[in-house]
Each structure stands twice: as C-alpha cells, then as structure tokens.
Structure 1
Amino acid sequence: MSIHFTVSGLTRNLFHSLGLDNQRAPRPLNPEQSLLLECYLAGQIPESAWNDYVFETPELARHVNARRSQH
C-alpha cells in the first residue's frame, strides 16, 4: 500500500486548518442564503443558530467576514 499526495493538496489543507482560506473571495450565495446572511447581520439570528448554519455552509462565514471588513 502506498500513500499519494500533492504539495498543493497539503498546502490547501494547511491553509484550511489555520483558517487562512477565508482570504479568498466568497462565492455568490443563493437567495435563501443571502436572506439568512441579512437576518444574521441584522441580529435576528442567535449566534448558536448561526454557528449551525456555518457548520453546514462554511461559505456563509466568508460572506460575513467580507461584509464586516467592508464597514
């Protein structure tokens, strides 16, 4: 048995584990995710529920970070 890997795969995993992959531009959200994001930013979604959404869709966290860095 042998294990194969690429340097780019290891680098991507390292960036992800360090949280540095959030630096890339977020992908567009669908209308439901956009509404969810707006509700969260308006304070209508508790942090505990938001963490569940982000666990399911990590892209939401990138959008929050991007929006907060704009202001």
Structure 2
Amino acid sequence: MGNILFVSGVSLTIGLKSTTQFFMKRSNFKGTISFGIGFFILIIGWPILGMIIEAYGFIVLFRCNGI
C-alpha cells in the first residue's frame, strides 16, 4: 500500500510526464528496477527481502549525484 501511495504522491507532485521521465532516466534505471523487483517480491509474500531490495532501489533513485 505504501509503495502505491509513494508513486502516486510523486506523480501528483511533479506530474505524470516528469515522473515517467524520472523513473526511466538511464542513470536511475538500476534504482527503478530494484524498486520494482522489491515490490514484486513483497506481493508474492517475502516481505523482509522485498523491503531490503526496495530500500536499496530507493537509495539509488534519490542519492545525491555530486551536486
């Protein structure tokens, strides 16, 4: 539930087009895949492993890139 609300909140905050561009950007692809795989693992019933993989994806997506 929290994952769906997170993606919905990002979409409502910056817009659907910008959200899609953010998640599909080449530099964010590793984080996007990790977040998606973690969500899938949560759905199939492995919550601890899914949360760890999602946390990794979240960190990769929103890390500071030397700004």
Q: TM-score range by the shorter chain?
A: 0.3 to 0.5
The TM-score with structure 1 as length reference comes to 0.32
Relative contact order: is structure 1 or structure 2 higher (C-alpha 8 Å, sep ≥ 6)?
Answer: 1
Q: Which has the higher helix share?
A: 2
Determine which structure has more spread, i.e. the larger CA radius of gyration: 1
